[in-house]
Amino acid sequence: MAFNFIPHLDLELDRYLPDPCEPDLVSSQSPKRFHTTKRTMSSQAVVDAVPPVEIDEEGRFKYILLKLWAADHKDEEDFKYLIRGDIYEEVYAGVTPLGLDVECVGGGRILHEPDEKKIFVYGYSQGFGKADHSIACDLLRKRFPHYESIDWKDEGY
């Protein structure tokens, strides 16, 4: 599964940019000019624009649980949890150009059965240790509210 924050954020950034048809009223005698300065998103808005869950559409796969925050606010407890079915290094490479930082707090496996509307979270990551599967399931329940069962166990690999 390819991981890419940029396309999603490009869509989100559009709402922060000026309307190209909005005239810049510098003076009543100047010709109509258009705004050229871009409004920038706050670092927290960028964090908020990152989707919390991106996993494979179906099957059994590894996952990682991450903490994401604005790089200039790393000492604060203002972070967001993410679930990714990806390699940590790919996630890190995707967020750092956006002024964000990420830390992997564990991992495990997910069994995603969309036809049965079920997700099962279990196991641990050999490299990152066991994630808090209850946090992962909370995020998955928000992402898949129509699923009949989203459950976890601390057993298995």
Q: How many CA atoms lie less than 13 Å away from 29 in the CB half-sphere?
A: 0
5-152 CATH, one of 3.50.20.20, 3.90.226.10, 3.40.50.80, 3.40.50.720: 3.50.20.20
pLDDT per residue rounded down to tens, the chain (157 residues): 444 444 444 444 444 333 444 444 333 443 433 333 334 578 888 899 999 999 999 999 999 999 999 988 776 678 999 999 878 899 999 999 999 999 999 999 999 999 999 999 999 999 999 999 999 999 999 999 999 999 999 887 7
Across the beta sheet with 53-54, the strand order is: 53-54, 80-84, 59-70, 100-113, 118-122, 149-152
| Domain boundaries along the sequence of the chain | 5-152
* Residue 117 assigned ligand-binding role: no
CA distance readout (Å), 46 to 34, 67, 74, 157:
26, 14, 14, 34
Nearest-angstrom CA–CA distance, 66 and 5: 14
